[in-house]
Amino acid sequence: MTLKQVADVEFPTRWACFRLLAFEAVHANTKTGTERLETVLALIFGDIHGFPPLVRIHSQCTTGEVFHSLRCDCHDQLHLALRVIAEEGAGVLLYEQQEGRGIGLIEKLRAYELQDRGFDTVDANLHLGHVVDSRDYAVPTHVLHFLGVGSIRLMSNNPEKIKAVLDSGIQIIERVGADVPATPYSSRYMSTKRNRLGHLINSPTDSPAKESDSVQDALLSEAHAEAAATGAGGNGDFRGGSWRIS
């Protein structure tokens, strides 16, 4: 993969004035085999090299972020990440164009139509002939390497994002939850993400800030087992909250 930086601009927002870098890369998706031009926007704030920065890898959601749809949590998660990065004084938000878990806007709307008929978000994708989640995080992780960021605090509830970052050789010293309140329209969707996709979404009685030790230990054990199976476990660092495969 050849990553190309195509823009570098000052980007003022309601939270802070970010530096926005735009990247392009032609990439063959490892889940679908489809090769296409992918774009990633990196919103950078503060010194991201003095200490492992807070990083959010966020997938585009036109329905939530443009039209403020209440069917999902994407809009609120995006705003949460930008606000927390600004409050902490440093961080990176990677905005990648993989709408609808990679199936695109129109197919996502077709999936919504099925959900209106009783399907959940997983079964709707499968009924349309798609995989459950076709996103491939290779381009965003390449951007992190381009930025010279080798150790991060990852804001995510998605185990696949955690695995993609670890597999790329980037160390995660902490997982920060991306929990936002559910609405009557999003509660089933969020329950499906938790119960069928394994997302680490806290229940209303859980603390929203940091994952529990038991969840972290489970992730560490899984990562360590996979590393051992692939022969990559010899140089892993699993002390404390630090997870590394390669």
Write down the mean pLDDT value for the chain.
85
Inform me whether the pLDDT recorded for 232 exceeds 80: no
Distance CA 183, CA 168 (A): 35
Distance CA 105, CA 96 (A): 14
Reduce the DSSP state of residue 237 to 3 states and report it: coil
Determine phi and psi for 160, rounding to 5 degrees: -65, -35
Nearest to 63 by CA among 100, 22, 10: 100
pLDDT in tens, 42-64: 999 999 999 999 999 999 999 99
Reduce the DSSP state of residue 169 to 3 states and report it: coil
Inform me whether the pLDDT recorded for 210 exceeds 60: no
Which amino acids are annotated catalytic? 133, 135
Q: Which tokens sit at 162? A: 């955690």
Give all domains of the chain, ordered by start, each with its CATH number: 4-98+135-154+179-213 (3.40.50.10990)
Inform me whether the pLDDT recorded for 30 exceeds 60: yes
Per-residue pLDDT, averaged over 120-149, amounts to 94
> Among 30-39, 69-78, 144-153, whose mean pLDDT is lowest?
30-39
Query: What pLDDT, on the 0 to 100 scale, is given for residue 139?
Result: 95
Q: Using an 8 Å Cβ cutoff, are 86 and 16 in contact?
A: yes
Q: Using an 8 Å Cβ cutoff, are 173 and 153 in contact?
A: yes
Per-residue pLDDT, averaged over 168-193, amounts to 94
CB atoms within 10 A of CB 109: 12
Rounded to the nearest angstrom, the gap between the alpha carbon of residue 30 and the centroid of all alpha carbons in its chain is 17
CB atoms within 10 A of CB 199: 19
> Among 26-30, 161-165, 190-194, 232-236, whose mean pLDDT is lowest?
232-236
Inform me whether the pLDDT recorded for 237 exceeds 50: no
Rounded to the nearest angstrom, the gap between the alpha carbon of residue 230 and the centroid of all alpha carbons in its chain is 24
Query: What pLDDT, on the 0 to 100 scale, is given for residue 203?
Result: 54
pTM: 0.81
Inform me whether the pLDDT recorded for 224 exceeds 80: no
Reduce the DSSP state of residue 151 to 3 states and report it: strand
Query: What pLDDT, on the 0 to 100 scale, is given for residue 31?
Result: 82
Per-residue pLDDT, averaged over 79-89, amounts to 97
Per-residue pLDDT, averaged over 6-32, amounts to 94
Nearest to 2 by CA among 143, 99, 97: 143
Which amino acid, one-letter code, is at 74?
A: C
